[in-house]
Amino acid sequence: MAGQVFKFSRDRGMGKRPSVRPGKIPSDWIFPGKRRAAGIPDFHEMMKPKNWNSLWEESCSNEEWKMGKWPAIVKAAGIVTAITAIGKILGFLRESIIAAFFGTSAEADVFFVASLVPTILFTALGTAIQAGIVPIYLREKEKNAKEAAHLIGSLGTFFVFVSIAAAILAILAARPLVSFLAPGFSADQLRLAERLTVILVPAIVFMTLTSVASGVLHANQKFAMPALTSTVQNLAVILSALFLARPFGVIGLACGFLAGTALQFFIQWPSLKRYRVRFPFPPQKRGISLRETLSGFYPVILASVAVQINGVTDRMISSTLDEGSISSLNYAYRLLWLPLSVMIGPLITVLYPSIVGSALKGAKPFGRIVGQGFRTIIYLSIPFMLVMIISGKALIRLAFERGAFDASDTVRTYGVFICYGIGLAFFALRDYLMNCFYALKENRLVMHSCLWTVLLNIGFSLLLSRFYGAAGIALAGTMAMLFQTVYLLVCFRRKSGLVVSGAEGWRDWGKYALLFAFPLSLLLPARGTVEKFPDIAELFLVSALVFSFHFFLSWLLKMEEPKRCLALLAKNKSVTFGE
């Protein structure tokens, strides 16, 4: 089984046992007699523990796992978190400067819509590249590291050609694209959006190269340089806002955005060369078929397109609402990604290569790491959700309220922010579960879940925006994320037999609910009092109370997560990172 990803059977009937097969199912996994005679453990028992706690106890019984990999993952996530935090601070400084210069004006709406075009084109391709390259590279690297580097280089060249073609088409169709994305724009806004689109679209070529480089470095457990890319991008936009915004308006911002995307790739290039990855022209076929490899990408690309369509439809619908609706959605969404990208995102990023590696080893190590990641994400999400709900206004004022961004903009953005914030855990779990299925090469299942989610999001947005405006669109996004998370989790349970059920499992879910509800019931009535403090003092006080309640209650409820995190952080295991 080494080097081959196990696949779950598609049997869904009652009483049918999940099967594991690398390509075709070996007979000793089908017939119990042969399986027992060969000394192979029962897969059903191996993949169906009584509850998540027993899954953790199984993992702790393996000394290599207990003392090595998970502490390394935690420390890697900690370093990536520190780097990402710097990038996020700069990101909020960037958004604050943009808000100070443009507020929620029509010009700001135009910039955010125009920046959607390269973002959509890149994310559809870039997310697929980064998600798809890691399992492909690791599988081929087990056989031959040189051939793996050559294959990734050829894939990179192919995707660069695709991105260039997409950029040319987007430039030629700039006017209809922005008209489609923002049907409520005036003629002047459409002309400005068209100019910005022409400037911004070439960025997708550099974004594609960045995704290839990040995928290879992540697969080799090098996380520092990919994490620094957002810092470089934010610095470029900040400098362009400070020095180019007044003389050139949003055109100056667009130039800074383009320069930042180019720098994101060039800072990774020295590290990438160490793994002998080059971009041959034309792409060369050697060893594994390039066409065969590319065939696995199209479901991932379609899934990425579907994820971006959610953002596109949100802005399309919000362009028909009051002026500033697009900007308030953008600012609120940026704030939502503060905890996602600083604390939870790094954990998901660092876990992904380990998830792929465990899938290559078999069902049991895969089940262990998936279970631990799932529980950790829920546990980490709860206090951030509470802080966002209780002190959302202070956070918005601190981040954006200056210059053209006034108190009325804060009130508008806060309503949107709350509707996004209550779905924080679902946004994180959706991304995590998608990575788990990518590791198993179940790309079609992810694609189907994303397409259904798009339809739900559109329907909910059209309905709720009639009553709640931009906040209704944010609430629709949260509801869609909840649906997709539940759908992916149910599919995972059915296919793997790994379930969260039984008395102890439901007690765990009850404990998570108590961790959320008890501090909220105590602190929400006191919000009027804490709002009298300065914004920074309010945030500090509320955060301290929330996290203190969180850890104290989890200790009182005898939950394993705080003990586990402290024990793991105490280990002196080293992790290597890209320079």
Token reading at 261: 């995307």
3-state secondary structure of 505: helix
CB-CB contact of 481 with 430 (8 Å)? yes
Residue 429 to residue 435: CA distance in whole angstroms: 10
Give the DSSP per-residue string, 210-229: HHHHHHHHHHTT--HHHHHH
Please tell me what DSSP assigns to residue 183: T
At residue 409, φ and ψ (nearest 5 deg) are -65, -35
Residues 257 and 106: their CA atoms lie apart, in Å, by: 19
Please say whether the beta carbons of 128 and 301 come within 8 A.
yes
Using CA atoms, how far apart are residues 509 and 136, in angstroms rounded to an integer? 35
Element (H, E) at 7: strand 7-8
- CA separation for the pair 84, 264 (Å, rounded): 14
**DSSP symbol at 321:** S
Q: What is the pLDDT along the chain (579 residues), one digit of tens a residue?
A: 444 554 544 444 444 444 444 444 333 333 344 444 444 444 344 344 444 333 333 333 333 333 335 556 656 666 666 777 787 788 878 877 887 877 767 777 888 888 877 876 676 677 777 777 777 787 777 777 777 787 888 888 888 888 899 889 888 988 888 888 777 788 888 888 888 888 888 888 888 888 888 888 888 878 778 878 888 888 998 998 888 878 888 888 888 889 998 998 888 888 888 887 777 776 655 555 566 667 677 787 788 778 778 877 888 888 888 777 888 888 888 888 778 777 777 777 777 777 777 777 666 667 777 877 888 888 889 999 999 999 888 888 888 887 778 888 888 889 899 999 999 999 999 988 888 888 877 888 888 999 999 999 999 999 998 888 888 999 999 999 999 999 998 888 776 655 433 334 677 788 888 999 988 888 888 887 888 888 888 889 999 999 998 988 988 888 877 766 665 455 433 333 233
In the numeric block, the tokens 């790491």 are attached to 369
Give CA–CA dist 128/15, Å, rounded: 35
